[in-house]
Structure 1
Amino acid sequence: MFRKRTIALAALAAASTLVLASCSPADTGSSSAYDPDETVSLDFAFWGNDDRANRYNQLIEKFNEEHPEITINTTFTDFASYWEKRQTEAASGSLPDVFQFSDSYLRQYGESGTILDLDTVKDYIDFTTFEDALLGTGRLDGTQYSLPTGFSLWANFVNDDLLAQAGIDAPEGGQTYDEFDDWMASVTEATGGAIFGGTDYTQRIQVFELRLRAEGKNLYTEDGELGFTEDELADFWNSGSDLRDGVAIAQQQLEEISPISGFGAAKTASEMSWSNFLGGYLADSGASSISIIAPPTDDPDAKDLYRQGGLQIAISAGTEHPEAAAIFLDYIVNSPEAGEVFGTTLGFPASSSKLDGAKLEGADKQVADYIESVKDRIGDTPPPAVVGYGSLEQKFWDLGKELGLGTKTVDDAVAEFFSEAQVVLG
């Protein structure tokens, strides 16, 4: 999820929801009406970087060997810009035929009828290859709207090449936040700021979520309310003050290299993100070796990690070619070829057939080993994301960047986030 511009996504989401409510799924008709010899063209959109784009191009070439009658037109951008565009398209009924989706938007897009009920094209998709728990990540009120490409765990990445140059040992996985902060400071000091120990991880709502989960809480309740107080958020953002005071890479530098992250640009020795980012990090940074370790925790017995099936594939309810779109969706989430091309870069394969094609070696084996290493720290999946979660996630990130730029105080940022949440959550 790469950093770029900011926007008032909550207002856009709210406006979109009003328009989306009037939309209804397309009439897909009978599956028997599908003509496999008909030449069709599908638009496919995704977020990511050049590495992901190259992999999709490889997969589409393989897909066209089996389905030369289906032309796939691709577009991609960074995460923030991606959802800005999808919100606008959803409001106007012009979503791509097939697109990368996120469980963060499942309620918003599912309840408004802008994504297709996959049961209407069930003859073209194999659902039996998924565990029910993973199917549930794309299911809302009994309706399957999307399918996961894989699952990920929150992780901490370390650039071994940069540490070797600095003469610094890698941090221990699962150390406390204070211990990890001290390690970051030691890297920055040893290199004189040529390489920073890491980024200000308090910008990421996922790190805040892990801290809450370690205390038995979640970001949101089952009833769709915030699961934390203003004081808890203030304490979290205040805990990053030392990081923003020269330990972590300056936000201004990150703005200059966006959408590449500080870690991807080899300007920081560490960065926390989802485990499936390893392949992209290797491609962006040019590092010969990147380690994956457990993120910090102040409770060694915490069950704060969880299997996140957030990266999904969905079909527009307005597509003119639902059967062809379903065939392509099935190829992405189920084919052994997708496992071979993507490995674990779209998450650890969620379907058994895709996993069969994945050769778990090199970076992919690293991800598999990491998932195995932290299995005792994996807890229950959090409550389903509320409508507007994507907007609040982006708002959290935007406010974190403003803290880094010094354009907003913690108290003001907290007040603005809760004000935004009140609008988004109603």
Structure 2
Amino acid sequence: MKFRSRKLMAGTAGVALAALVGLTGCASGAPAGTQPTLDPDEEVSITFTFWGNDVRAELYNEAIAVFEEQHPNIDVDIIFLAPTDYWEKRQIEAAGSGLPDVVTMDLAYLRQYSQSGSLLDLEPYLGTIIQTDAIDPQVLSAGVVDDVTTAVPLSTNSWGMFLNTTLLDQLGVEAFTDGTWEDYYDWIAEVSDAGKAAGVDVWGGVDPTGRIENFELQLRAEGDNLFDEDGTPGFDEERLAEFWDSVSTQRDAGQLVPQQRIAEVQPLTAFDSALSASDATWDNTGAGFLANLGEGYDIQLIAPPLSVEDGKDLYLKASQMYSIASNSEHPAAAATLIDFLINSPESGEIFGTNRGLPASETARESADLDELSQTIADYEASIADRLGAAPPVPIVGYGSLHEKFRELGEELNFGTMTVDEAVTQFFAEMDVVVSSQ
């Protein structure tokens, strides 16, 4: 594929994560008392980086072309990488104070890059160059680290429950509608038993306790966070053991999709391989599910279970964000590009929901929502009474904890580890991460 960019850079092997974490500092911004402005006559060149696939790259090419028509004095060089290479390349750049001007940021890495001093304080640009009136304040707050705004969300998603209604109809089992987590576990068992009786490889679901997000939702419903701002966990060994043990009956009875079957269908999931009739995950996963399932399948999106009455377990997550590098020589031009990519009707029309549901109402109104995208938009509107404040920005090292949690969940489902052993291993890993905060 040929890109319009004049600076398309590839990822390379490089420094370890510690090189970036070891940097100290805080987000920097415009000099005090100054109002950031863009000189329309000054010719500048800025770099912009994002992750994705060829489809997203073409959309960005189209959007940047429109931006440069509107701002002929700003030349944008695109740096596009696959997700697997993206953060390795950013670590190398940050260690050498050479990040691109505009960086597509992920919530999991925001604290790491903010606390290292790699990102600009965006406060002077908010409401001036980057318009924020069209973005929900709760969503906007996701870009704040240590009271400093270092990123602006461009899209949102929320945790939800997908159901394969085609499989359920074939098995003659009613779809799960609402109830507690215990109700959901019982429903999983019912579907799995129906699949076994019919002689088909269909189960009610994968092990819900294999995902740290489900644990986080239960903690939030109880009034706790997974981790507080300073890295303090909102749970102890007993609470984690209770969570992992909550499906032990279904696990022992073979009523969850076997881990071996999950491994066999990778990189697909059990849900989009039609092995599982349900899956709790981020709502913007639906398009991929439908594409992989193919024609003949219908899916439904509902709110996940809730065991605490009136619990505020859900939140709108910033699925992607934009930041400006503190080393940028043209922050006003970078902010102008961010405003266009987040707020402009042209951007909304070009991208639709490719980057997630647009966080800006202006862009969202211009996006052509297909049936599934409209379903996701309706879903996010329907869970308003369950939305709580967004959790603190993830601690540095959260990515390794997320992966450890997943690995231990696999061990539990393979039957190669006990719950107590899994809890001990996770807390050992967590102690290392938290102590480094």
Query: What secondary structure does 1:44 align onto?
Result: strand
Q: What is residue 232 of structure 1 aligned with on the other side?
A: 239
Q: Give the count of matched residue pairs.
A: 408
Closer, same or farther: CA 140–308 of 1 in aligned 2, 3 Å: same
Where does 1:345-424 land on structure 2 (aligned, <5 Å)? 346-424=355-433
The separation in 1 between residues aligned to 2:111 and 2:262, in whole angstroms, is: 32
Q: What is residue 116 of structure 2 aligned with on the other side?
A: 112
The separation in 2 between residues aligned to 1:15 and 1:327, in whole angstroms, is: 31
Query: What secondary structure does 1:309 align onto?
Result: strand
Q: What is residue 306 of structure 1 aligned with on the other side?
A: 315
Aligned alpha-carbon RMSD (Å): 3.4
1:279 aligned onto 2:283:
no
The separation in 2 between residues aligned to 1:404 and 1:92, in whole angstroms, is: 43
Amino acid at match of 1:110: S
Alpha-carbon shift at residue 89 of structure 1 (Å): 5.0
The separation in 1 between residues aligned to 2:193 and 2:394, in whole angstroms, is: 38
Query: What secondary structure does 2:135 align onto?
Result: coil
Closer, same or farther: CA 325–391 of 1 in aligned 2, 3 Å: farther
1:269 aligned onto 2:277:
yes
1:200 aligned onto 2:207:
yes
The separation in 2 between residues aligned to 1:82 and 1:252, in whole angstroms, is: 30
* Contact 1:59 1:338 survives alignment (8 Å): no
Where does 1:145-224 land on structure 2 (aligned, <5 Å)? 145-175=150-180, 176-186=183-193, 188-190=195-197, 192-224=199-231
Q: What is residue 12 of structure 2 aligned with on the other side?
A: none
1:17 aligned onto 2:21:
yes
Alpha-carbon shift at residue 227 of structure 1 (Å): 0.8
The separation in 1 between residues aligned to 2:199 and 2:370, in whole angstroms, is: 36
Per-residue CA deviations over 1:85-138 (Å, capped at 9, x if unaligned) read 644554454545544322333322111112233357666532333233222110
Closer, same or farther: CA 159–94 of 1 in aligned 2, 3 Å: farther
Q: What is residue 6 of structure 1 aligned with on the other side?
A: none
Alpha-carbon shift at residue 236 of structure 1 (Å): 1.1
Query: What secondary structure does 1:74 align onto?
Result: strand
1:42 aligned onto 2:47:
yes
The separation in 2 between residues aligned to 1:420 and 1:149, in whole angstroms, is: 32
Where does 1:237-256 land on structure 2 (aligned, <5 Å)? 237-245=244-252, 246-256=254-264
Amino acid at match of 1:425: V
* Contact 1:198 1:249 survives alignment (8 Å): yes
Alpha-carbon shift at residue 168 of structure 1 (Å): 3.5
Closer, same or farther: CA 252–330 of 1 in aligned 2, 3 Å: farther
* Contact 1:174 1:294 survives alignment (8 Å): no
Name the larger-Rg structure.
Answer: 2
Amino acid at match of 1:113: G
Closer, same or farther: CA 91–255 of 1 in aligned 2, 3 Å: farther
Amino acid at match of 2:108: S
The separation in 1 between residues aligned to 2:309 and 2:92, in whole angstroms, is: 44
The separation in 2 between residues aligned to 1:253 and 1:120, in whole angstroms, is: 52
Amino acid at match of 1:396: F
Where does 1:46-195 land on structure 2 (aligned, <5 Å)? 46=51, 53-67=54-68, 69-77=75-83, 83=87, 86-87=90-91, 89-93=93-97, 95-119=99-123, 124-175=129-180, 176-186=183-193, 188-190=195-197, 192-195=199-202
User: So what's the TM-score if we normalise by structure 1?
Assistant: 0.82
* Contact 2:135 2:359 survives alignment (8 Å): yes
Closer, same or farther: CA 328–194 of 1 in aligned 2, 3 Å: farther
Closer, same or farther: CA 94–222 of 1 in aligned 2, 3 Å: closer
* Contact 1:222 1:383 survives alignment (8 Å): yes
Alpha-carbon shift at residue 217 of structure 1 (Å): 2.0
Query: What secondary structure does 2:203 align onto?
Result: coil
Per-residue CA deviations over 1:352-398 (Å, capped at 9, x if unaligned) read 22122124451122112222333222233334433333332222223
Query: What secondary structure does 2:235 align onto?
Result: coil
Percent pairwise identity: 39
Alpha-carbon shift at residue 82 of structure 1 (Å): 5.2
The separation in 2 between residues aligned to 1:252 and 1:187, in whole angstroms, is: 20
Alpha-carbon shift at residue 295 of structure 1 (Å): 0.9
- Which of 301, 315, 336 aligns to 1:292? It is 301
The separation in 1 between residues aligned to 2:353 and 2:347, in whole angstroms, is: 10
The separation in 2 between residues aligned to 1:321 and 1:162, in whole angstroms, is: 54
* Contact 1:403 1:409 survives alignment (8 Å): yes
* Contact 1:279 1:345 survives alignment (8 Å): no
* Contact 1:118 1:145 survives alignment (8 Å): yes
Q: Which of 228-237 and 99-108 deviates more? A: 99-108
The separation in 2 between residues aligned to 1:357 and 1:271, in whole angstroms, is: 30
* Contact 2:46 2:334 survives alignment (8 Å): no
* Contact 1:184 1:248 survives alignment (8 Å): no
Closer, same or farther: CA 377–125 of 1 in aligned 2, 3 Å: closer
* Contact 1:45 1:96 survives alignment (8 Å): no
The separation in 2 between residues aligned to 1:63 and 1:114, in whole angstroms, is: 24
* Contact 1:55 1:341 survives alignment (8 Å): no
Alpha-carbon shift at residue 157 of structure 1 (Å): 0.6
Q: Which of 249-258 and 396-405 deviates more? A: 249-258
Per-residue CA deviations over 1:44-86 (Å, capped at 9, x if unaligned) read 2325xx5xx52452243133134264242322226xx755664
* Contact 1:137 1:310 survives alignment (8 Å): no
Q: What is residue 11 of structure 2 aligned with on the other side?
A: none
